[in-house]
Structure 1
Amino acid sequence: MSHHTVIRSQTAIGLALALSALTCWVTLSDVSSVADLTPAHALTLAAVPLAIFAGHSALPLIFGGRVLVGLGMLALTVGATAYLSAVSGIRNTAAVEAKGKRIAEANAARVRAGNDVTAARTTHTDAKAEETAECKRVGPQCDRKTGRTAAAWSHVLLTEATRQQLGAIEDPMAGYRALAELASLAPGITAERGAIERGLVLALPWLAVVLCELGAVVCFSAGFNDRHTLSRILNKPTTTPQQEAAFRTVSDQGPKGPETVSGPMSAGALTLRRLLMDSGQPMTVSEAASDVTSIGNLSTPLQTFGQPATTQQQKTAFQTLAAQGVKGPETVSAPLSAGALALRRLLMDSEQPMTVSQAAQAMAVGPSEASKRWREIPDIVAVRVGRKLMISLG
């Protein structure tokens, strides 16, 4: 069995890379502002690929029979994800607190600007009253009071412009408060809104990190797929002296055709067989000769295999081998059953791999019967792609 990792979805892989990069950025978010790069940051970054690889490998290893290694990978996945969630959650909580402090400072500046506007308007009102009292008759005193009133009004306009630039008063807990109010309306929720709000403030930053970490692992698993290739290897059988003598008798007398027995094929015959299977249509001897290396090997595989004339000794030898259950290319292969021949013809006509379920549907048999038939064919190759078993001729 050989293990391969193939790409299934480039979109999922791209999303997983984005989530991983986001995790690394959150982990190093304090380096650019208040902290230096420390070994703790390096260890945290090392936990990111560890969590991804362990999460991708845990279940395939367990289902593949390597239970202890798979459980170890599963433990690494849980531990690395929990550690990254804790560290990133701390960073997110610190960011939320810093944001709250900035909003509080901005609100304080807005309050001071509002007080300045109130004081400026009061000054302007007083100046206006003095101007009214002084300007009952025109004179130098009236002109001075009018100038003070104009200056006070200019100051009012300046303070109001400054206040408008600062914006409205912000509430850093407005979103949490609205969500807590919505949650309190749900049936079965008896906690007070204040308690719900405090719980949301603590839980939401951590929940966002957990979703990011698990999202990276799941998206990588969805983007890649594990493929296990099963090669049918026929081990050399244990033969008795009687079986060896029977096989030598059959080989020396040269029987031909699938109704008797066949010896191992030569390299040229195997090359021609692959050429005919790939072409999917008949060809002349000259056309085949131009595509193979050795022309001298063409005479044997291009014979017409009709019903051979076998001697009684050959029939007896073959019956002896079949009765004793000899298998493998070193001896002889028993004739394929009608179902196996039908499946082999189906695979040759399709010219592409198919699942066992597809083969069973095409032959109008059950999956178990299809599995029984493909196991009879000696040159078949079975490839497991995910949970599906693909079969094709070798």
Structure 2
Amino acid sequence: MKVLILGSGGREHALAWAVKRSQRVTEVVCAPGNGGIAQVARCVLVDIKDVGAMVRLAEVEQPSLTIVGPELPLSLGVVDAFQELGYRVFGPTRDAARLESSKAFAKQFMKRHQIPTANYAVCTDAAEVEEAIKHFHPPVVVKADGLAAGKGVIICPTRQFAIDAAQGIFSGELLGLAEKQVVIEEFLEGEEVSFLCLSDGEHVVPLVPAQDHKRIGEGDTGPNTGGMGVYSTSEMLEPTMTEWIMHHIAEPTVRGMAEEGTPFAGVLYCGLMMTARGPQVLEYNARFGDPETQAILVRLESDVVDALEACVDGRLGETVLRWSHGAAACVVASSSGYPGSYKTGLPISGLSLAAQTPGVEIFHSGTSRLGNQLVTSGGRVLGITASGDTIREALARAYEALTQIHFEGMYYRHDIGHKALKQQRP
């Protein structure tokens, strides 16, 4: 098989690494890829904002299977375009991907199907925001309706802060692009869990859970990012809780999408808050998370290609995934200044030494190759991913590897997995 992966980040590097391990795969092509992905796949240039360009690439490459990594091409309908031409493609259609591309659609969908989520209001102008905000107790969450690369969620300590934030989203001042809708939402307290599932439009199979660290600063402080680190352990969710989430959230979501004529096939990512009143859906994503994918895939013992093909072929009901017991963690090394402005083109050293650390895989998020030198090319640069028998061991390995890596201004959080470590004995 030749497998084509669309995307260029750490998630796509982890997917290429996992796909490459399949005995059925003879070649992995990644478009556009990055400097690290080029070590495991043939990288070809493509604009993932251009559906026509991606279709033309498929016509040239003739892949046996295409995996869509990021949310943007899904929201533009790349899966629909591939399917129309008979290409086998893993990911939801544009209408199904609205679970991620429109926060308003997702909230209204959850209300229609009695899926537990925070109370909310959808507003289309400042006057509606001012009226809706009276019904919420601060802190209040304000969300941009559309895709915002993890930066469209603002936790507001006062009602006036929320009104100003909504105005900034409407005007385009906050995100660079004006939104026509915002979602006002009650603030939920508890532990966040990333609960990802595979779906073929009818059947649902859970992946192992993970916990992301969105904030840039230690102790979960500072602005939101695309994700600064993640961990996954066998103990994160009791089997009975996994069953509850499947029964009350994941399966009703897939069933509801099918009932509404937009079957969801691909990865359903349920971002959950484990509250005192039970798990509540914070958001849906319509694809693998980044950096969750890195920690999840290093624990997968099954052939990932078999599982993804089962989703495409509608036979996921026959699939049983095998997972390693223990834990995995991914710590993101970012450019100084991220999630704001940052320099690129900075030389990276120490990767080969770091890769010799037992149990460590290094996935590249934002790198490119300048001659023989790997250099930085993004805000999130590397995802140092390690597995171990315990979360303590996995984190120790990841941080040990990080001490070998250097580039100017390299920043990473030193407290990834701190909540899990508190729950364990030394």
- TM interval, shorter chain, is under 0.3
TM-score, normalised with respect to structure 2: 0.15
More strand by share: 2
Higher relative contact order (CA 8 A, sep 6+): 1
Of the two, which has the highest radius of gyration?
Answer: 1
